[in-house]
């Protein structure tokens, strides 16, 4: 880069000003008397861009210190406020979703009348539940649905949840929540509950450690 400033472009002038770089071949102008095994030391100055960055860092550090340790800024309060704001947004979303999909937020209920149980029995057949649990619920690949031993718990809430979310991983019981409606899952759970204590043609040995006999 030429030292003749008049012959430099605006960009070259800017770079020269920000680096204060000396041209190769003119080291004698900044050569010091220090000599280390024939290696001479140059008295280069720190580039202005580096110095400006260093000064800005100091200024920001002072500002940060004043704001955090001497001002009203409080990181713990900021975090708590953010969490509270997030909770309100979640509550608002849930409230809106409840209006649009109220069935998602109501507890599962068991039907006991003949008409609903008949619909549940139809679903038990049409959704091929019998393939694993037998036509009469006595069990096959899947567990017996007529005894009082339950793997994932008996009662409408647990049975409904098993139908909805599926059984144990790797056991073949799929989740039905995206295949059939909540009402249909309630009908299925109600029918399964109605099988409690029924005699079956070839009952499978009881499985599970949770005792529930319909009460």
Return d(Cα 214, Cα 155) in angstroms, integer.
Answer: 7
pLDDT for residue 112 is more than 90: yes
Tell me the mean pLDDT in the region 147-176.
88
* Domains of the chain from N-terminus onward: 5-70 (no CATH), 114-211 (1.10.760.10)
pLDDT for residue 4 is more than 70: no
pLDDT (0 to 100) of residue 1:
46
Q: Could you tell me the end-to-end alpha-carbon distance of the chain, in angstroms, rounded to an integer?
A: 94
Contacts of 132 (CB under 8 A, 6+ apart): 140, 141, 142, 172, 173
Give, for 168, the enclosing helix (H) or strand (E).
Answer: none
Buried b (16+ CB within 10 A) or exposed e, 153-188: ebbbebbbbbbbebbeeeeebeebeeebeeebbbbb
Tell me the mean pLDDT in the region 31-60.
85
pLDDT (0 to 100) of residue 25:
67
Tell me the mean pLDDT in the region 122-134.
92
pLDDT (0 to 100) of residue 34:
78
Residues present in the chain in total = 215
Of 67 and 79, the structure prediction assigns the larger pLDDT to 79
């Amino acid at each position: 880069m030429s030292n003749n400033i008049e012959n430099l472009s605006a960009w070259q002038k800017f770079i020269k000003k920000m680096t204060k770089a000396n041209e190769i071949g003119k080291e004698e102008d900044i050569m010091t008397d220090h000599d280390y095994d024939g290696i001479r030391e140059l008295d280069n100055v720190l580039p202005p861009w580096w110095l400006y960055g260093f000064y800005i860092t100091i200024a920001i550090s002072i500002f940060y210190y004043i704001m955090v340790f001497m001002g009203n800024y409080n990181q713990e309060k900021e975090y708590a406020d953010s969490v509270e704001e997030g909770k309100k947004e979640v509550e608002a979303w849930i409230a809106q979703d409840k209006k649009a999909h109220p069935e998602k937020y109501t507890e599962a209920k068991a039907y006991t009348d003949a008409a609903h149980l008949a619909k549940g029995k139809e679903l038990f057949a049409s959704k091929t539940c019998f393939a694993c649990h037998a036509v009469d619920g006595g069990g096959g690949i899947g567990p017996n649905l007529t005894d009082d031993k339950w793997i994932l718990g008996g009662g409408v809430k647990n049975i409904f949840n098993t139908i909805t979310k599926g059984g144990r991983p790797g056991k073949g019981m799929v989740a039905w929540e995206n295949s059939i409606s909540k009402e249909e899952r309630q009908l299925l759970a109600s029918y399964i509950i109605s099988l409690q204590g029924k005699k079956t043609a070839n009952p499978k040995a009881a499985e599970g450690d949770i005792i529930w006999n319909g009460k």
